[in-house]
Amino acid sequence: MSNSFKPPHAAAGSGSSFNPQLGPSYPAFDDLPRIAHVRLPFIQLIYGVSRATVWRWVREGKIPAPRRLSAGVTAWNVGDIRDAMDTPRGPK
């Protein structure tokens, strides 16, 4: 079994600002600027996992922790997520 951790993400290089799985209000991940923030449903989609798995991976350090933008609003920085996808990480 491999120690590297590299979850899947949305199709790269689509060139489209429309994500058919989420609808027109969600742009393709590759089209978002690094400074953008995305919420939990978007993270679930690009990794293809449940919300419980997202939070487990945050606790385990496999993906970056989200930022609290305001009371009741937590989001992940797109640049941080891209960096995590580009860095193979094994379970701790």
Each residue's pLDDT tens digit, 25-62: 556 778 889 999 999 999 998 888 999 999 999 999 99
Domains parsed from the chain with CATH numbers: 29-86 (1.10.1660)
- pLDDT grade for 2, boundaries at 50, 70 and 90: very low
54-75 average pLDDT score: 94
Residues in the chain: 92
pTM, whole model, 2 decimals?
A: 0.68
Asked if residue 73 has pLDDT above 80, the reply is yes
Tokens of 35: 């400074």
Tally of CB atoms within 10 A around 56: 13
User: What pLDDT does residue 85 have?
Assistant: 87
